[in-house]
Amino acid sequence: MPSLVLAGFVTFEGIDGSGKTTVSRLAAERLRSQGHAVYLTSEPTAGWLGEAVRRGIEEDVGAVAEALLFLADRAAHIPDIQSHLAKDELVLCDRYADSTYAYQGARLAGIVRDPLRFLQRASEDWVLLPDLTVLLKVPPDVAIARIKDRPDRMRFEDVTLLTKVAANYDRLAKSRRFVIVDANRSVDHAVDDAVSAIERRLPTRPGA
């Protein structure tokens, strides 16, 4: 175990096809191999609320119900994340609140007045604030080309929507909490950048 171990909450964000799931998994493996205690989790979760989210999208429950389902899934996920943070582990989450701000922020346009603000206000009193958010950036047309042959295509994999989602991510990424990683390169490069951002920006504690 290294003399100083990393602890805190890191989220991975990006449009569909940005490589976020692969990069977060490989970053977790690399950090574990360096001796850090890493808990890798994701949203939508594998629990029944995560299933409800997937079903809501498949059956097109509408943008408002869909947004509220994502918030419910997140709210129920918090105790699990907190239990690992309480053990001073490094928690990596493949998608978190910024996904809702970016995706449902786009989906709710024309339905609520200021979608991003509406979603942030609905979340701010209870959502966990990540110590760092890694935004994997890739042009929407490149992302679509990467995912077009995936068997589990979801409805959000559409270039017009993903362009709006990417613009929302750019707005959110003005916060200092974000680090932008160019994901329009090999996975290895993106993992290198993500891991070094985590090492640079996360608090450390003495190892056992």
| Minimum gap (Å) between residue 203 Cβ and ligand TMP | 25
DSSP at 86: T
Residue ranges in 7-46 that form contacts with ligand TMP under rule CB under 6 A: 16, 43-44
| Minimum gap (Å) between residue 81 Cβ and ligand TMP | 13
User: What distances in angstroms separate CA 162 from CA 92, 97, 158, one per listed residue?
Assistant: 23, 17, 6
Question: Tokens at residue 183, please?
Answer: 């994901």
Residue nearest to ligand TMP (CB): 103
| Minimum gap (Å) between residue 1 Cβ and ligand TMP | 31
Residue number, 39 or 156, with CB nearest to ligand TMP: 156
Residue ranges in 68-87 that form contacts with ligand TMP under rule CB under 6 A: 70
DSSP at 89: -
Burial string for 47-86 (b: 16+ CB within 10 Å, else e) reads: eebbebbeebbeeebebeebbbbbbebbeebeeebeebbe
- One of 154, 159, 185, 206 touching ligand TMP (CB under 6 A): 154
| Minimum gap (Å) between residue 98 Cβ and ligand TMP | 8
| 83 φ, ψ (degrees, to nearest 5) | -65, -35
Stretch that binds ligand TMP, among 2-10, 94-102, 119-127, 199-207 (CB under 6 A): 94-102
User: What distances in angstroms separate CA 19 from CA 24, 39, 144, 152, one per listed residue?
Assistant: 9, 19, 11, 15
| Minimum gap (Å) between residue 72 Cβ and ligand TMP | 11
100 binds ligand TMP (CB under 6 A): yes
